[in-house]
Amino acid sequence: MVLKYGLILFLGTFFLRCSDNNTTAEKIVAQVGVKKLSEKELNNIIPDNLDDADSALMADDYIKKWIKQELVIQKANENLTPQQKDVSKELEEYRNSLIIYKYKNELMRQRMDTLVTEEQIEEYYNANNDNFNLNKNITKAIFVKIPKEVANPKLLKDMIENTSEEGLSELREYCLQYAKKFDIFMDNWVDFDLVKNNLPNEITDNERFLRSNSLIELKDSNYYYLVAIQDYRLKNDTAPLEFVKNNIKNLILNQRKIEFLKEVEENIYLEGIRQNKFKIYTEN
């Protein structure tokens, strides 16, 4: 078996690299029963940018998968009844579903209103406040990890206090020059785990930690750490609007989509009635 597949691999590599003679008959690289895998099909699978070794491995893997699939198909054809192998109804249903799906998508692309305003988002948020409870602790924070030998704690704390655009820009420039790692989560809410996982000390009670600390200084053997918690929300609190804004926009669009498609179906039905496009037969 190893010898057989080794030969297939060799032939696959040979065929992939022999493309200079296009006038010869189509080459076959594998066959199961009457089904054949051609060199052309195999070439279409292998990316052009692979080297010979990777091309050979990929060709060998594809050939093995193709053979296994064809053997299963062959076995199924041998063991299923003609009725079981008749999939015309399933194919028709799938085709109809696909055509309807594409038609509805095209209608939505052309006609559905996809503009969601800030007012609509805020209105939805206020009307469904109880549906937006957090499942994790989130925060707005500044995190700095800086080598101890260059750390200037007083300067860093002074810089962190200035949360204006100019102040944050100055802090960012400083950190780019000296810090090993830093993050400034001021414009967006993030999972508190993203912050605490960068700290040298383990935090076992996230809620207590957030309630008790606004400025955290830590050290290990190599680095000085500074975290400034600007704001936070705890698990099960109502999520801030800006944290769920994108979710709300998608919810509004999904509701709009459902209503739009219902209206499309109803209009098509009414058009069918007006134009006598269908009949319903009932028993007398």
Each residue's pLDDT, cut to its tens digit, for the chain (284 residues) gives: 443 444 444 444 444 444 444 445 689 999 999 999 999 999 999 888 888 889 999 999 999 999 999 999 999 999 999 999 999 999 999 999 999 999 999 999 999 999 999 999 999 999 999 999 999 999 999 999 999 999 999 999 999 989 899 999 999 999 999 999 999 998 899 999 999 999 998 888 889 889 988 898 999 999 999 999 999 999 999 999 999 999 999 999 999 999 999 999 999 999 999 999 999 998 76
| Distance from C-alpha of 9 to C-alpha of 55, rounded to nearest angstrom | 9
| Distance from C-alpha of 29 to C-alpha of 40, rounded to nearest angstrom | 9
Contact 112, 188 (CB under 8 A): no
| Encoded tokens for 64 | 């093995």
| Distance from C-alpha of 31 to C-alpha of 33, rounded to nearest angstrom | 6
DSSP class of residue 204? S
Q: Which residues have a Cβ under 8 Å from the Cβ of 162 and sit 6 or more positions away?
A: 168, 170, 171
| Distance from C-alpha of 59 to C-alpha of 53, rounded to nearest angstrom | 10
> pLDDT at position 2, please?
41
> pLDDT at position 212, please?
86
Contact 31, 67 (CB under 8 A): no
Task: Kindly report the number of other CB atoms within 10 A of residue 128's CB atom.
Answer: 12
Task: Kindly report the number of other CB atoms within 10 A of residue 220's CB atom.
Answer: 12
Task: Give the sheet arrangement for strand 215-219, strand by strand.
Answer: 181-191, 138-147, 223-233, 215-219
> pLDDT at position 284, please?
61
For 246-257, letters b (16+ CB in 10 Å) and e give eebbebbbeeee
Give me the count of residues in the chain.
Answer: 284
| Encoded tokens for 101 | 């799906």
Contact 199, 218 (CB under 8 A): yes
Residue-wise DSSP of 87-145: -HHHHHHHHHHHHHHHHHHHHHHHH------HHHHHHHHHHTGGG-B-SS-EEEEEEEE
> pLDDT at position 187, please?
86
Pick the CATH number of 134-233 from 3.30.60, 3.10.50, 3.30.1300, 1.10.1740: 3.10.50
Contact 35, 69 (CB under 8 A): no
DSSP class of residue 39? H
Contact 192, 138 (CB under 8 A): yes
DSSP class of residue 160? H
> pLDDT at position 7, please?
46
Q: Where in the chain is the domain with CATH 3.10.50?
A: 134-233
> pLDDT at position 25, please?
66
> pLDDT at position 18, please?
47
> pLDDT at position 26, please?
82
> pLDDT at position 241, please?
95
Block residue for tokens 């691999």: 9
In this prediction the pTM is 0.70
| Encoded tokens for 48 | 């052009």
